[in-house]
């Protein structure tokens, strides 16, 4: 095997003795250099162990593809957030038994329910630096598009070689392309629901409390990973057996208390701390306001459609929760950025950065002009951003149109040799793409599909004359001169035709047949959505080609920019999050978000009871929970009660540095034992994704004691408790 888990530390610092800045979503291998800091904080284990991806604890930490999780038993039991299993709950829900609301508990191993097509557990087993292989010998004469194609080709070659051993691999860029790493993972394909509390516990507080403190949410659930009888990863089959991980986390029933050191391991999604001031300005002045407006409107549409229809409510549940969460996140970023004057701070930092470059002739020779070049690249993209964003909105809003686009692109790419295909359409991805086509049936509601496509079409109708989607205008009869009322008449008339007769793409068997069909059969198939996708295809291709050219340009500029940033920082720096395995650490502590206000670092059952309101869908706590809580509050005693609080801790704050994707991340104590699950940040400091606030940033975790209390005292999930090795 070529890969190894013991590789050199990524050293980009010019002054290793400099103490690292607060915060940081660190690459595991960087923990070697951070060991003194973690030890000083009070960690009792060996911090260097975090660099060993096949050892403890990292060998137990997994990705669910958008969320984080961990093995917690020798039989493949996995703990993660409740909101991370919403898709599995929805997949198993029916109008008669709505598992999204009611939760799920498998009495026996045989009753554990398949999480559905496309469910995956990914265990990172190795990381290898491949910077030289990726960009070490690039011809400087290549234009931007050619450069990007060469980089893609190299990534595909490395990925193919890595996957010969049966692993799932990716080649990821760090520090804007300054460094590249090959990441190898074991891909477990049979994932099943074991236990999830009802949403009145797992999503207690709903959108009212989302991103807010104090929080009283039991955001936890359990999966199990299965494999074939030979121990190898296999597709879902009733005859499969539980996976036996080499490592799993053990629970510390003492939980987490104020002042305790905590270490969080997971897969943070994306941050944008190392961008230019202009890029941040676009995010805050155009991108995020657009998301807030669109998602707010679309959520209102779906809420209206769901009235009186349990089936529609179930089918749109995943989309609703995702959009509501994203919308509130963006609102928080915008408010935090305004309050914290992020744009002003970023502009000042960039001015200082440019002055630092100009102050030295050698630095000016190496880095001079890079910021201007990045701004020019950004400016060119902005000229067509409304058109490009609206085109993507058409696909995002309509599952039928999105599947038509995917089917046509899949057919086009099939004509090529696998090595020449676009990366996402290589044969290694066919299985998951097919599973997506299958799973779509559980979320497809034709009324919602039509209503959301209508919303996107009206956006297209309102585009300025310089940014029209001409193919769509020709089909629907739109022009820039139409009034809003006239555009609605045109759109509604065309939608009546589009949805007037059944589309074969609305049927799972027909979709899958087209996915498996020959390219000629797909491209010759007659369907209104396939026809629409065909009409939009030339512009879609044009947009993708422009994106490739920008990526090629960024592959030249990004490394220069980041090398300058790192040189100026003069210390160890964490790269922006990119959905790869990271470690962050801090302590359990409260915070003062504004003058005269202090957030205590823990919440308890007392707060759950105080918020409870019968009939309120967000705070309708189960009666069984209220009754059990009353006994605890009356005596100050019982299972998992904190002796100092005389209550069961529910959630807690810590100053670790996390973002989206960290949901479900293991929270470890000084001994390396599981004391909680990370699930959120605080509304006031969500903007740390753009500019980290070392004083006020806090993350929210559910205390393991509340997990165990609910599991044992409310749900009676004794089988899960026993598997965790816990006795009340």
Q: Looking at the annotation, which residues are catalytic?
A: 83, 219, 663
Tokens 């969320």 — which residue? Answer: 67
The Cα–Cα gap between 452 and 303 comes to 12
Report the alpha-carbon distance of residue 661 to residue 379 in Å, rounded.
30
* Count of beta carbons in the 10 Å neighbourhood of residue 304: 9
Determine the distance from the C-alpha atom of residue 317 to the mean position of all C-alpha atoms in its chain, rounded to a whole number.
17
Cβ neighbours, 10 Å, residue 26: 23
Roughly what angle, to the nearest 10 degrees, separates helices 288-306 and 446-461? 140
Q: State residue 397 phi and psi, 5-degree precision.
A: -75, -30
Residue burial 469-491, b: 16+ Cβ < 10 Å; e: rest: bebbbeebbbeeebeeeebeebb
For residue 97, the tally of other CB atoms under 10 A from its CB is 10
Quick one: 84 exposed, middle or buried, by C-beta within 10 A (0-12, 13-18, 19+)? buried
Q: Give residues with Cβ within 8 angstroms of 79, minimum separation 6.
A: 69, 70, 72, 220, 221, 222, 664, 666, 674, 677, 707
Neighbours of 383 (CB within 10 A): 11
Token reading at 494: 């065309």
Partnered with residue 113 across adjacent β-strands are 193
**Which helix (H) or strand (E) covers residue 181, if one does?**
strand 179-188
Q: Is the dihedral of CA 301, 680, 335, 274 positive or negative?
A: negative
601: its two tokens: 């670092």
Preceding amide of 57 cis, omega within 30? yes
Rounded to 5 degrees, what are φ and ψ at 111? -90, -5
């Amino acid at each position: 095997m070529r890969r190894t888990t013991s590789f050199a530390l990524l050293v980009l610092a010019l002054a290793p003795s400099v103490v690292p800045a607060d915060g940081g979503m660190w690459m595991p291998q960087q923990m070697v250099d951070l060991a003194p800091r973690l030890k000083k904080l009070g960690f009792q284990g060996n911090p260097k162990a975090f660099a060993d991806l096949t050892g403890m604890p990292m060998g137990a930490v997994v990705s669910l593809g958008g969320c984080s999780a961990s093995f917690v038993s020798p039989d493949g039991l996995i703990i993660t957030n409740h909101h991370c299993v919403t898709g599995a709950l929805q997949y198993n829900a029916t109008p008669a038994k709505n598992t999204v609301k009611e939760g799920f508990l498998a009495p026996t191993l045989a009753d554990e329910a398949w999480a559905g097509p496309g469910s995956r557990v990914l265990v990172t087993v190795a990381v290898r630096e491949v910077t030289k292989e990726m960009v070490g010998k690039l011809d400087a004469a290549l234009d931007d598009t050619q450069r990007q194609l060469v980089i893609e080709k190299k990534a595909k070659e490395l990925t193919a070689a890595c996957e010969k051993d049966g692993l799932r691999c990716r080649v990821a860029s760090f520090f804007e392309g300054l460094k590249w790493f090959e990441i190898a993972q074991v891909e477990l394909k049979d994932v099943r629901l074991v236990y999830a509390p009802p949403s009145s516990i797992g999503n207690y507080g709903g959108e009212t409390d989302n991103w807010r403190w104090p929080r009283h949410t039991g955001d936890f659930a359990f999966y199990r990973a299965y494999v074939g009888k030979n121990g190898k990863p296999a597709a879902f089959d009733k005859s499969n057996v539980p996976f036996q991980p080499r490592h799993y986390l053990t629970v510390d029933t003492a939980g987490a208390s104020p002042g305790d050191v905590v270490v969080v391991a997971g897969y943070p999604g994306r941050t944008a701390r190392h961008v230019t001031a202009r890029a941040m300005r676009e995010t805050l002045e155009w991108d995020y306001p657009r998301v807030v407006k669109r998602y707010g409107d679309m959520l209102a549409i779906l809420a209206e459609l769901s009235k009186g229809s349990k089936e529609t409510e179930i089918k749109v549940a995943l989309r609703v929760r995702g959009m509501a969460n994203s919308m509130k996140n963006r609102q928080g970023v915008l408010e935090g950025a305004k309050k914290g004057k992020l744009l002003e701070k970023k502009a000042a930092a960039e001015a200082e950065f440019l002055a630092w470059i100009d102050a030295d002739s050698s630095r000016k020779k190496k880095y001079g002009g890079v910021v201007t070049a990045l701004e020019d690249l950004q400016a060119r993209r902005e000229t067509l951003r409304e058109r490009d964003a609206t085109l993507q909105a058409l696909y995002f809003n309509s599952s039928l149109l999105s599947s038509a686009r995917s089917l046509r692109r899949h057919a086009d790419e099939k004509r090529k040799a696998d090595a020449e295909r676009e990366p996402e359409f290589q044969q290694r991805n066919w299985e998951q793409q097919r599973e997506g086509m299958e799973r779509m049936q559980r979320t497809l509601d034709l009324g919602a599909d039509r209503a959301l496509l209508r919303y996107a079409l009206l956006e297209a109708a309102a585009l300025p004359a310089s940014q029209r989607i001409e193919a769509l205008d020709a089909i629907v009869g739109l022009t820039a001169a139409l009034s809003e009322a006239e555009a609605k008449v045109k759109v509604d008339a065309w939608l009546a035709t589009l949805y007037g007769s059944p589309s074969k793409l609305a049927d799972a068997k027909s979709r899958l047949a087209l996915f498996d069909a020959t390219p000629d059969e797909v491209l010759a198939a007659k369907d209104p959505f396939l026809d629409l996708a065909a009409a939009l295809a030339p512009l879609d291709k044009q947009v993708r080609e422009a994106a490739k050219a920008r990526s090629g340009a960024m592959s030249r500029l990004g490394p220069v920019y980041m090398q300058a940033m790192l040189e100026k920082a003069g210390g160890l720096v964490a790269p922006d999050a990119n959905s790869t395995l990271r470690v962050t650490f801090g302590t359990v502590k409260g915070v003062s978000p504004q003058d005269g206000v202090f957030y205590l670092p823990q919440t308890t059952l007392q707060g759950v009871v105080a918020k409870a309101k019968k009939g309120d869908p967000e705070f309708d706590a189960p009666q069984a929970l209220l009754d059990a809580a009353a006994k605890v509050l009356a005596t100050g005693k019982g299972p998992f009660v904190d002796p100092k609080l005389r209550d069961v801790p529910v959630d807690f704050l810590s100053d670790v540095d996390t973002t989206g994707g960290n949901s479900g991340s293991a929270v470890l104590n000084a001994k390396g034992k599981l004391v909680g699950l990370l699930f959120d940040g605080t509304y006031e400091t969500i903007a740390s994704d753009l500019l980290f606030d070392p004083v006020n940033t806090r993350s929210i975790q559910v205390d393991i004691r509340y997990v165990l209390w609910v599991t044992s005292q409310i749900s009676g999930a004794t089988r899960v408790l026993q598997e965790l090795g816990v006795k009340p």
